Amino acid sequence: MTISLTRRRLLAGSAAALAMPRLARAQGAKPRITAISQWSAGSDGAAISALGKLFEDRGGVWQHNPVPGFTTDMMNKLRAQIMAGDPPAISQLKGPEIAAWSKIAPTVDISPLVKTAGYADKVSAELGKSCQPGGHWIALPLQVYRLNTLFLSTKGMERAKVSKAPTTWAEFNDVADKMKAAGMIPLANGGNRPDDGQKFEIALAGISPEIYRRALMQLDTDALNSKEVLAAFEQLRKFANYMNPNIAAQPWAVNLPAFVKGDMGMVMTGGWAQGNLFKAGATVADFSSGPAPQDSGPPCFDLNADCFIFWKSKGADLDAGQKLFAEIVMEPSTQEMYSKITGSIPARTDVNLAAPGFTDGQRNSAQVLRDAIAKDRVVLSLAHNMAQPNGITAAMIDVLTEYVHNSAIPAAEGQKKLVAAVAGAK
Amino acid sequence: MRTAATHPAAGKAAGIEQGVWRRRFGGALTGLAIWLPLVASAGHVVVFTAWTTWVSFTASSLMPDYTWVGLRNYFAVTRTANFQIAYVNLVIFGGGFVLLTMALGLLLAVLLDQRVRGENVLRTIFLYPLAVSFVVTGTVWSWLLNPGLGIQKVVQNLGWTDFRFDWLVQSDKAIYTLIFAGVWQGAGFAMALFLAGLRSVDADLVKAAQIDGAGPWRMYRRVLLPTIWPIFITVFVILLRSAITSFDLVRALTAGGPGISTMLPTLVIYDFMFQRSELGRGSAAAVLMLMSLVVVMAPYGLYVRWQRQKQARV
Amino acid sequence: MKWTRLIVYAALIVLAILFLVPLGVVIVNSLRSNQEIAATSLIDWPTQVVFSNYAQAWNKFCMAEHCWGIEPYMLNSLTLTIPATIISTLLGALAGYSISLWRFRGDEFVFGLVTLGIFLPEQMKLIPWVVVLRDLSLMNTIAGLVLIHTVQGMSFTTLFCRNYYVGIPQDLLRAARIDGAGFFRIFWRIILPLSPPILIVTVIFQFTGIWNEFLYGVTFTSGGQQPVTAALIALSAAITSEPMYGEQSAAVLIAALPTLLVYLFGGRYFLRGLTAGAVK
**Chain C residues whose beta carbon lies within 8 Å of the beta carbon of residue B282:** 123-124
Q: What is the pLDDT of residue B25?
A: 52
Q: Is residue B62 part of a domain?
A: no
ipTM metric: 0.86
**Residue of A66, A70, A272 lying closest to C63 (CB–CB):** A66
Inter-chain CB proximity B259 and A404 less than 8 Å? yes
A390 CB within 8 Å of a chain B CB: yes
C124 CB within 8 Å of a chain A CB: no
What is the mean predicted confidence (pLDDT) over B224-229?
76
Task: Write the DSSP symbol of residue C224.
Answer: G
**Chain B residues whose beta carbon lies within 8 Å of the beta carbon of residue A192:** 255, 257
Top residue of C127, C130, C166, C208 to mutate, by most chain B CBs within 10 Å, is: C127
Closest alpha carbon to A136 in A104, A99, A100: A99
Closest alpha carbon to B233 in B295, B313, B303: B303
C238 CB within 8 Å of a chain A CB: yes
Please count the residue pairs, one from chain A and one from chain C, whose beta carbons lie less than 8 angstroms apart. 121
Q: How far is CA A199 from the centre of its chain?
A: 15
pLDDT in tens, C211-265: 999 899 989 998 888 999 988 888 876 666 677 888 889 999 999 999 989 888 8
Q: What is the pLDDT of residue C273?
A: 52
Distance from CA of A405 to the nearest CA of B (A): 5
State how far the Cα of C138 lies from the Cα of C246, in Å rounded to an integer.
Answer: 37
Mean pLDDT of chain B: 82
Distance from CA of A418 to the nearest CA of B (A): 12
Distance from CA of C130 to the nearest CA of A (A): 6
**Residue of A76, A85, A251 lying closest to C243 (CB–CB):** A251
State how far the Cα of A40 lies from the Cα of C216, in Å rounded to an integer.
Answer: 18
C133 CB within 8 Å of a chain A CB: yes
Domain A29-144+305-360 of CATH type 3.40.640.10: no
- Integer angstrom CA distances of residue B185 from B131, B138, C167: 9, 10, 29
Q: Which residues pair with A149 in a beta bridge?
A: A269, A291
Characterize A52-71 residue by residue with b for buried, 16 or more Cβ atoms within 10 angstroms of its Cβ, and e for exposed: bebbeeeebebbbbbbbbbb
Q: What residue spans in chain A does CATH classification 3.40.190.10 cover?
A: 29-144+305-360, 149-303+364-425
Task: Write the DSSP symbol of residue B172.
Answer: T
* Chain C residue at shortest CA distance from B104: C15
Q: Is residue B26 part of a domain?
A: no
State how far the Cα of C112 lies from the Cα of A344, in Å rounded to an integer.
Answer: 56
Residues 116-135 of C with CB under 8 A from B: 116-128
pLDDT, one tens digit for every residue, chain A (426 residues)? 444 444 445 444 444 444 444 555 555 678 999 999 998 887 888 899 999 999 999 999 999 999 988 888 899 999 999 999 999 999 999 999 999 999 999 999 999 999 998 898 888 888 888 899 988 999 999 999 999 999 999 999 999 898 889 999 999 999 999 999 998 999 988 778 888 999 999 999 999 999 999 999 999 999 999 999 999 999 999 999 999 877 766 777 777 888 888 888 999 988 888 877 877 778 888 898 889 999 988 999 999 999 999 999 988 999 999 999 999 999 999 999 999 888 889 998 888 888 888 888 888 899 998 899 888 889 999 999 999 998 899 999 999 999 998 889 999 999 999 999 999 887
For B25, list phi and psi in degrees, rounded to 5: -80, 20
Task: Write the DSSP symbol of residue B80.
Answer: S
3-state secondary structure of B58: strand
Q: What is the pLDDT of residue C90?
A: 93
Number of domains composing chain B: 1
Distance from CA of A70 to the nearest CA of C (A): 7
**Residue of B79, B81, B275 lying closest to A394 (CB–CB):** B275
Closest alpha carbon to A194 in C30, B298, B255: B255
A181 CB within 8 Å of a chain B CB: no
Q: Which helix (H) or strand (E) holds C255?
A: helix C245-275
State how far the Cα of C159 lies from the Cα of C163, in Å rounded to an integer.
Answer: 6
Q: Is residue B11 part of a domain?
A: no
CATH number of B91's domain = 1.10.3720.10
Residues 185-244 of A with CB under 8 A from C: 192, 194-195
Q: What is the pLDDT of residue B21?
A: 53
C239 CB within 8 Å of a chain A CB: yes
Q: Spell out the SS3 assignment of chain A.
A: CHHHHHHHHHHHHHHHHHHCCHHHHHHHCCCEEEEEECCCCHHHHHHHHHHHHHHHHCCCEEEEEECCCCHHHHHHHHHHHHHCCCCCCEEEECCHHHHHHHCCCCECCCHHHHHHHCCHHHCCHHHHHHCCCCCCCCEEEEEEEECCEEEEEHHHHHHHCCCCCCCCHHHHHHHHHHHHHCCCEEECCCCCHHHHHHHHHHHHHHHCHHHHHHHHHCCCHHHHCCHHHHHHHHHHHHHHHHECHHHCCCCHHHHHHHHHHCCEEEEEECCCHHHHHHHCCCCHHHEEEEECCCCCCCCCEEEEEEEEEEECCCCHHHHHHHHHHHHHHHCHHHHHHHHHHHCCEECCCCCCCCCCCCCHHHHHHHHHHHHHHHHCCEEECCCCCCCCCHHHHHHHHHHHHHHHHCCCCCHHHHHHHHHHHHHHHC
Is beta strand A345-346 parallel, antiparallel or unpaired with respect to A139-146?
Answer: antiparallel
CB-count exposure of residue B232 (10 Å: 0-12, 13-18, 19+)? middle
Q: How far is CA A152 from the centre of its chain?
A: 22
CA-based angle A84:A85:A87, to the nearest 5?
A: 100
Can you give the C-alpha Rg of chain A in angstroms? 24
**Chain C residues whose beta carbon lies within 8 Å of the beta carbon of residue B106:** none
Q: Is residue B15 part of a domain?
A: no
Is pLDDT at B40 greater than 50 in this prediction? yes
For A416, list phi and psi in degrees, rounded to 5: -60, -40
Inter-chain CB proximity B199 and C274 less than 8 Å? yes
Q: What is the pLDDT of residue A214?
A: 94
Inter-chain CB proximity A100 and B62 less than 8 Å? yes
Q: Which range, of B87-91, B127-131, B177-181, C196-200, averages the lowest pLDDT? A: C196-200
Q: Which range, of A380-389, C141-150, C264-273, averages the lowest pLDDT? A: C264-273
Do the Cβ atoms of C220 and C129 come closer than 8 Å?
yes
* Chain C residue at shortest CA distance from A191: C239
* Chain C residue at shortest CA distance from B272: C123
- Integer angstrom CA distances of residue B139 from A306, B142, B242, B251, C189: 28, 5, 18, 9, 46
Closest alpha carbon to B106 in B217, B182, B193, B205: B193
A85 CB within 8 Å of a chain B CB: no
**Chain A residues whose beta carbon lies within 8 Å of the beta carbon of residue C217:** none
Can you give the C-alpha Rg of chain B in angstroms? 25
**Residue of A75, A83, A192 lying closest to B274 (CB–CB):** A75
Chains touching chain C at 3 or more Cβ pairs under 8 angstroms?
Answer: A, B
Inter-chain CB proximity B259 and A401 less than 8 Å? yes
Q: Is residue B178 part of a domain?
A: yes
State how far the Cα of C235 lies from the Cα of C245, in Å rounded to an integer.
Answer: 8
Task: Tell which phi-psi region holds residue C140, choosing left (phi > 0), alpha (psi between -120 and 50) or beta.
Answer: left
Is pLDDT at C269 greater than 90 in this prediction? no
Q: Is residue B36 part of a domain?
A: no
Q: Is residue B163 part of a domain?
A: yes
Inter-chain CB proximity C275 and B200 less than 8 Å? yes
Residues 21-50 of C with CB under 8 A from A: 35, 38-40
Neighbours of B215 (CB within 10 A): 10
Inter-chain CB proximity C95 and B108 less than 8 Å? no
Q: Is residue B39 part of a domain?
A: no
Closest alpha carbon to A259 in A172, A193, A187: A187
Top residue of A61, A79, A196, A254 to mutate, by most chain C CBs within 10 Å, is: A254
Distance from CA of C61 to the nearest CA of A (A): 9
Mean pLDDT of chain A: 87
CATH code for the part of the protein at A149-303+364-425: 3.40.190.10
3-state secondary structure of C69: coil
Task: Write the DSSP symbol of residue B68.
Answer: B
Q: Which band of pLDDT confidence, cut at 50, 70 and 90, is reported for residue B8? A: very low
**Residue of C214, C219, C237 lying closest to A80 (CB–CB):** C219
A335 CB within 8 Å of a chain C CB: no
Is pLDDT at B285 greater than 70 in this prediction? yes
Structural domain boundaries enclosing B268: 81-313
Q: What is the pLDDT of residue C270?
A: 63
A192 CB within 8 Å of a chain B CB: yes
**Chain C residues whose beta carbon lies within 8 Å of the beta carbon of residue B244:** 119, 121
